[in-house]
A and B are shown apart, each in its own frame.
Chain A
Amino acid sequence: MTGGTTEGTTGGTLADLPEPAARLYDVRYSRYQGAHEPRWRSVLALARSSAGRALGLRRTAGAKVWPFFLLACVYLPVIAVVGIPLLFDGAPDPLDILSYQQLLGLLTLVIVAFTATTLPSLLTRERRDRVLSLYFSTALSRTEYVVGKLLAAVTLTSLVTLGPLLALFAGTILTAEAPLDLLRSEGGDLPAVVLGGVVVALYFAALGLLAGSLTAKRVFAVGGLLAALLVTPVLSGLAFGLSGRRDLLVIDLSQVPQRAAGTLLPGQAFEPNPPDAALVWAVWALVLLATSLVMTLVYRNRDSA
């Protein structure tokens, strides 16, 4: 502890005392005199906190079960295909069992479930609890808030899109008989893998935020998003079946980013005859544009807090 008399019973001084093992702090309120961090650190703090809460971190155990169950689900296929060559001699390479495009196609349902149940609450919970007036009065600007939420959403969707792709890439390299040789030959695929993962992550992040910004009630946002992502595949199948036009498959909103990423990712495609790539990219861009417009309209209004 600090303090005490300047002379001890043996006649020594404070300088003679050993280094204190503990230090006492006065926890009574005082004026803050310390430095302030740059604003981008605040935006990162918002993104980190928002993503953590969406995953149930620093909340009850029950709040963590569903998001972490889905996270486990997206990495199971990767663990399986990476593990096979380790267990069986002469087994094919992971990428020969499951290509990047096939992995994304396989994970569609889990990605949809994760997006619909996790992302809207990034926005709905704070509107429900009316926390925005606290944020916008003295903590954040509206632009900083939107950027922070976008970062949180992309971080979350990257966990279920980019994460498995990178895990498959790394697993393929690490389980190869000559990892360095394979890294030299296949390392050039990494930018395309990252870009493909980001394309899918951005799309689902945008959809999740779009649903969350349209209502303060989470149940409506989740229901609306699930309806859009589960009904459109049926509609697109019906439209294709009736007309025979493959371009009508782009109505399926749950497959748009996988098809767009398919134009970037190496390896075997997850469907033999995809719709026209330009049309797919147009729908992908349209969803991002719609989200930007809606969020601008919802959060630019100063009177809405």
Chain B
Amino acid sequence: MSTAALAVDGLVKAFGDVRALDGVTATVSAPATGLLGANGAGKSTLMKVALGLLAPDAGSVAVLGLDAARDRHQIRARVGYMPEHSCLPTDMSAQDLCIHLARLRGLPRRDALRRASEVLFAVGLEEERHRPVSTYSLGMAQRTKLAQALVHGPDLVVLDEPTSGLDPAGRHEMLRILRHLSRDLGIQVLVSSHVLDDIERTCDEVVVLSSGRVTAQQAVTATASGGPVALQVSGDPRAFVARLHEHRLPAALDGSRILLPSSEPALLTRVRDLAADTGTGIMSLVDASHALEDAVVGAMA
């Protein structure tokens, strides 16, 4: 079993009379975990405490098996962080910023240059990388923030509301990149959001925070109950539904999602094989029985 990305025990952090974290205890070890909660639930505070940006009032935090208070240097080398707020130096280009932060994280100059090109290519900023950040759209600024979090090759990336303020196209692209990180590149992802759909599309597990407490923690994947599931694919979902029908597989289009009436292994295997045969990428397969949504709504209430 891999090391837990984050393990917190009895974590307390107060700002004056407000207890932002009120005895949080959780272990996060899935490839991609979503921190879900309303504004003010404590998501950002939990991330900042884990990164050592805030000192906890009580409790313990371990990041990648390392003590957050004692082993900050090792943690810094293995973690990337994308803050929610605007934090980019406006007079630098994305290229210069990534090189600069890679150098600060200990990469030799030649490696920093190469890595900056790699990450900017990975987040789709290769064409605009020499422009000053002040000229970027919000989506480009978000991708720059993500690129700097990845430039040193972290084992864990902590992303605070990465889709905040993005238009639908930008949000879709950001979610696609996030899924790519955990699924294809083996980077553990801890992402906060107050949108359940974002978490469903990018994460394997969800931790629900409410008023500074963990109120639920469960898997996002389709349940073994055999209930309905929702599929998201790359390319044209309408064409893929048509191919499913050609093979007498039951499916229905629901917006950009494809609904399958059950999650029986035989059906899912045939869908997977057909996707492979047609060169269609499966972006997400989630429970469509609303069990997760019901659980989250209940936990956030």
Q: Which residue of B lies closest to A139 (CB)?
A: B104
B234 within 8 A of A: no
A194 within 8 A of B: no
* Chain B nearest Cβ from A145, distance in angstroms: 9
Q: A125 CA to B55 CA in the complex, in Å? A: 25
B186 within 8 A of A: yes
Q: A227 CA to B154 CA in the complex, in Å? A: 47
* Chain A nearest Cβ from B95, distance in angstroms: 10
A133 contacts across to B, CB distance below 8 A: 53, 81, 83, 85, 87
A33 contacts across to B, CB distance below 8 A: 153
Enumerate A101-129 residues with CB–CB distance to B below 8 Å: 125-126, 129
Residue interface mask B70-107, A partner, CB < 8 A = 1? 00110011011101011111111000100011011111
B114 within 8 A of A: yes
Q: Count of chain A residues with Cβ under 8 Å from any Cβ of B?
A: 40
Q: Quick check: A28 and B121 within 8 Å, CB to CB?
A: yes
* Chain B nearest Cβ from A214, distance in angstroms: 20
Known A36-B107, A45-B103, A138-B154; judge A29-B81 contact (CB<8 A). no
Interface contacts (Cβ under 8 Å), in number, total 119
Chain B contact patch, size range: 35 or more
A41 contacts across to B, CB distance below 8 A: 103, 106
Q: Quick check: B186 and A31 within 8 Å, CB to CB?
A: yes
A249 contacts across to B, CB distance below 8 A: none
B117 within 8 A of A: yes
B24 within 8 A of A: no
Q: Quick check: A137 and B81 within 8 Å, CB to CB?
A: yes
Enumerate A61-113 residues with CB–CB distance to B below 8 Å: 63
Which of B89, B105, B115, B148 lies in contact with A129, CB distance below 8 A?
B89
* Chain B nearest Cβ from A148, distance in angstroms: 9
Residue interface mask B182-200, A partner, CB < 8 A = 1? 0001110000000000000
Q: Quick check: A138 and B87 within 8 Å, CB to CB?
A: no
Q: A137 CA to B84 CA in the complex, in Å? A: 13
Known A29-B122, A31-B185, A130-B86; judge A137-B53 contact (CB<8 A). yes
* Chain B nearest Cβ from A259, distance in angstroms: 37
Q: Quick check: B107 and A134 within 8 Å, CB to CB?
A: no
Q: A32 CA to B115 CA in the complex, in Å? A: 8
A12 contacts across to B, CB distance below 8 A: none
B250 contacts across to A, CB distance below 8 A: none
B51 within 8 A of A: yes
A32 contacts across to B, CB distance below 8 A: 107, 111, 115, 152-153
Chain A residues within CB distance 8 Å of chain B = 25, 27-39, 41-42, 45-46, 49, 53, 58-59, 63, 125-126, 129-131, 133-141, 302-303, 305
Q: List 17 A-B contacts (CB under 8 A).
A: A32-B152, A36-B107, A41-B103, A42-B104, A42-B106, A49-B100, A59-B91, A126-B89, A129-B90, A133-B81, A134-B81, A136-B52, A138-B80, A138-B154, A140-B104, A302-B52, A303-B54
